[in-house]
């Protein structure tokens, strides 16, 4: 019988005692085996992996979702290997499993940690039915570049919002008790800086000064660790010349020494061997040495560790004590997960996939993720009672797979309800619904169906255009240099607009798009991201006013690609632009002098403002903020300030509003952003209702890393805003004074 099995029953020892005992029984080859993760091999996994598992040469498999195969792999590990150590079974469970939630960027638009937590919990339980016990999520890379395909997996541009929502996602995956049935291990990725790849090209170089790294990009990872995340994944990209998978500053100094992380770090797919492709190392053996020395505990695919670490230890290039520490990190997580006590999966102990709760969660997530970007002349909501006919047009109206978005290996399209189907369900018995797909795909350049689309638009009371990107156009390795609507969609909009009827655009996409070429051609825009399984009913409810939109943008929408990066928390610069210092390129006098344009930071052909700002999102209600105040004009270090404002629903329908708190530190040891999100609250108000929105600001909430990389809160003057977006103008001020 295996050693681990002998000692798992009613084990009262501490986790560290159990780890120490197991390490004491292990050979070097078995230790390195725990550091080795391999692709499962699909249906042939058992035959393919049996010998290596028996020999103790595999610690984790990935991409196996057949529960019978997973259980047999676990049985081989437990009953046929010398030590009986169970396997971690990894899978990308990014935004759902069979029931698919909105893409993470869409979930971020909800600004609702409780909902994000629920989405992750549903995903964990569905994945756990298959034997998966480890997911490679959340992705908490901060990015300000919508060209990057993986922005779809992110939680947006802001470190505070990503920290809040990323922590909620960790809690959803891992549950209250990691060892309970239905909990799976979360993995915060990609550590760190991946979202800053040059020009949004996946896998490209990142150059981030340490001050920016600490003040922005590291913050969500620290929050995830504080929330209890047990694993981290390294970034594919290099950071200031040192690839993250070989970066000891990140993995040893920051993660272990400064933060005290005691889980384990896994490489991204084959990124250990890719150190040589980067040019950091000369071969696989050198890559294994660099990665293990830097602090990568487990290698995902590639085989550099299993093939080279034993020899590197024998040659004295790697101290076996270092290997022991890394294997201890892995064993610690397996014990916390309860794998030794409960290695096998019984699907009947977990809820069925696509159950009522799962679908309801997907519905709520979709409802709260759709952003109303524009609504001229109250074009929305539509009134079914006043309509006789509706034109439904576009390639995304009835595309059950495309609405699921990127990274949905296991998503069940049979569960998808499309907008066309949902519109028919709501109004089909009373209103004539005319549908023309118009384009085969979102990328199509054929416009032979545009005449038919324009004809039904002209014959209908309103045209609803379903536009956007197919799911394959975003995600890993799917970066775009041009982020306009792809294909001939802009021409489709123009042709439908020419029919002379109101036009509503519903856009499904995995990233912010540049919409300047259609913005004046439509009366309203609902930006639905890729909304998941229940995207159709959610969109239909919003179109017809059953629910009011309440989502807010977690990322800035540029007017054109040339503005990128554009984000709300930029620095002021020494020459900040203002409305009276800019001029448009078309208005320049041909004889103008070189100093006639304000000498400030803006683009002649785009100005300095985005198309839609971070935090923007309209409602069918109207919300007014008034009477902003602070509990004191001055506070001392260690004190807490109350900041409040009155919020009134002056509209005619009940609706949710996300009130947002922003702060600016006017003078700092290093320059500070013009605004930083420091709090938010989702509130539901009836028509005419007024509430006081109150936030607490502790002086620690205003801390930042200074030029010496010390976390400090400095005395001085601060501006503070409360409003419905980052563009709110309701502002007051307070000061922090020295305690002495």
Enzyme catalytic residues: 268
Sign of the C-alpha dihedral, residues 467, 540, 416, 356? positive
| Contacts (Cβ under 8 Å, ≥6 apart) of 414 | none
CA angle centred on 418, ends 413 and 422, rounded to 5°: 135
How many Cβ atoms are within 10 Å of 75's Cβ, its own excluded? 15
How far, in Å, CA of 363 to CA of 235, rounded? 32
Of 534, 735, 552, the closest CA to residue 641 belongs to 735
How far, in Å, CA of 300 to CA of 49, rounded? 15
Of 536, 551, 493, the closest CA to residue 401 belongs to 536
How far, in Å, CA of 195 to CA of 76, rounded? 40
**HSE value, Cβ hemisphere, 13 Å, CA-based, for 55:** 11
Whether the Cβ atoms of residue 216 and residue 195 lie closer than 8 Å to each other: no
Q: Is 726 helix (H, G, I), strand (E, B) or coil?
A: coil
Of 152, 571, 615, the closest CA to residue 402 belongs to 152
- Which letter does DSSP use for residue 249 in this model? I
Q: Is 717 helix (H, G, I), strand (E, B) or coil?
A: strand
Helices (H), 184-316: 210-212, 219-226, 248, 274-278, 284-294, 304-314
How far, in Å, CA of 118 to CA of 122, rounded? 6
Sign of the C-alpha dihedral, residues 601, 607, 613, 616? positive
Q: Is 267 helix (H, G, I), strand (E, B) or coil?
A: coil
- Which letter does DSSP use for residue 54 in this model? H
CA distance from start to end of the chain:
67
Question: Using omega within 30 degrees of 0 as the cis cutoff, is the peptide bond preceding 381 cis?
Answer: yes
Of 200, 250, 207, 217, the closest CA to residue 141 belongs to 217
Helices (H), 498-571: 535-543
CA Rg value for the chain? 27
Q: Cα-Cα-Cα-Cα dihedral of 434, 436, 437, 439, to 10°?
A: -160
């Amino acid at each position: 019988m295996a050693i681990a099995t002998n000692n798992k029953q009613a084990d009262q020892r501490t986790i560290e005692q159990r780890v120490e005992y197991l390490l004491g029984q292990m050979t070097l080859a078995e230790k390195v085996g725990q550091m080795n993760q391999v692709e499962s091999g699909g249906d042939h996994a058992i035959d393919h992996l049996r010998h290596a598992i028996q020999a103790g040469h595999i610690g984790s498999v990935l991409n196996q979702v057949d529960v019978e195969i997973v259980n047999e792999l676990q049985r081989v590990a437990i009953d046929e290997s010398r030590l009986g150590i169970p396997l971690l079974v990894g899978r990308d469970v990014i935004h759902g499993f069979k029931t698919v939630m909105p893409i993470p960027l869409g979930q971020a638009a909800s600004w609702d940690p409780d909902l994000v937590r629920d989405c992750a919990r549903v995903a964990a339980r569905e994945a756990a039915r298959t034997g998966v016990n480890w997911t490679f999520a959340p992705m908490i890379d901060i990015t300000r570049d919508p060209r990057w395909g993986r922005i779809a997996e992110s939680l947006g541009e802001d470190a505070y919002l990503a920290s809040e929502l990323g922590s909620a996602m960790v809690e959803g995956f891992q549950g209250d008790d990691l060892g309970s049935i239905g909990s799976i291990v979360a993995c915060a990725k990609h550590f760190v800086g991946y979202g800053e790849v040059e020009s949004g090209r996946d896998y490209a170089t990142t150059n981030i000064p340490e001050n920016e790294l600490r003040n922005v990009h590291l913050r969500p990872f620290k929050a995830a660790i504080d929330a209890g995340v047990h694993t981290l994944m390294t970034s594919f990209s290099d950071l200031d010349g040192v690839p993250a998978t070989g970066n000891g500053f990140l993995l040893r100094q920051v993660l272990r020494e400064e933060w005290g992380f005691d889980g384990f770090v896994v490489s991204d797919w084959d990124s250990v061997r890719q150190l040589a492709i980067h040019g950091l190392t000369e071969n696989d053996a050198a890559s294994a040495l660099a990665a293990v020395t830097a602090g990568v505990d487990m290698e995902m695919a590639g085989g550099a560790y299993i093939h080279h670490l034993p020899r590197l230890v024998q040659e004295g290039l790697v101290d076996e004590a270092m290997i022991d520490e890394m294997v201890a990190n892995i064993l610690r997580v397996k014990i916390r997960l309860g794998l030794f006590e409960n290695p096998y999966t019984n699907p009947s102990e977990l809820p069925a996939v696509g159950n009522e709760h799962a679908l309801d969660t997907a519905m709520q997530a979709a409802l709260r993720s759709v952003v109303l970007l524009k609504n001229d002349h109250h074009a929305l909501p539509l009134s079914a009672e006043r309509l006789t006919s509706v034109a439904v047009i576009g390639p995304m109206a009835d595309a059950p797979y495309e609405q699921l978005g990127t990274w949905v290996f296991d998503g069940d399209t049979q569960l998808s309800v499309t907008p066309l189907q949902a519109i028919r369900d709501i109004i089909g018995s009373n209103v004539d619904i005319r549908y023309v797909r118009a384009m085969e795909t979102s990328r199509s350049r054929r416009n032979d169906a545009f005449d038919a689309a324009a004809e039904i638009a002209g014959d209908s009371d309103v045209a609803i255009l379903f536009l956007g990107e197919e799911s394959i156009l975003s995600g890993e390795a799917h970066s775009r240099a041009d982020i306009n609507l792809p294909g001939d969609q802009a021409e489709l909009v123009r042709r439908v607009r020419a029919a002379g009827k109101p036009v509503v655009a519903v856009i499904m996409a995995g990233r912010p798009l540049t919409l300047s070429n259609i913005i004046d051609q439509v009366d309203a825009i609902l930006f639905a991201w890729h909304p998941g399984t229940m995207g159709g009913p959610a969109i239909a409810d919003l179109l017809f006013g059953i629910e009011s939109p309440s989502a807010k943008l977690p990322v800035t929408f540029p007017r054109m690609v040339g503005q990128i990066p554009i984000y709300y928390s930029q620095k002021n610069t020494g020459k900040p632009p203002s409305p009276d210092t800019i001029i448009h390129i078309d208005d320049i006098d041909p004889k103008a002098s070189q100093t006639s344009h304000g000498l400030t930071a803006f683009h002649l052909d785009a100005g300095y403002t985005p198309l839609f700002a971070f935090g923007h999102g309209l409602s069918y209600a109207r919300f007014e903020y008034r009477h902003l105040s602070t509990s004191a004009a001055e506070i001392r270090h260690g004190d807490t300030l109350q900041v409040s404002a009155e919020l009134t629903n002056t509209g005619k329908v009940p609706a949710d509003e996300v009130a947002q708190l922003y702060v600016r530190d006017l003078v700092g040891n290093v320059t500070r952003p013009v605004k930083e999100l420091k709090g938010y609250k989702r509130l539901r108000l009836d028509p005419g209702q007024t509430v006081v929105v109150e936030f607490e600001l502790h002086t620690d909430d205003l801390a930042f890393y200074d030029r010496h990389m010390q976390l400090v809160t400095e005395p001085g003057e601060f501006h503070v805003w409360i409003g419905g977006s980052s563009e709110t103008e309701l502002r007051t001020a307070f000061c922090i004074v020295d305690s002495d």
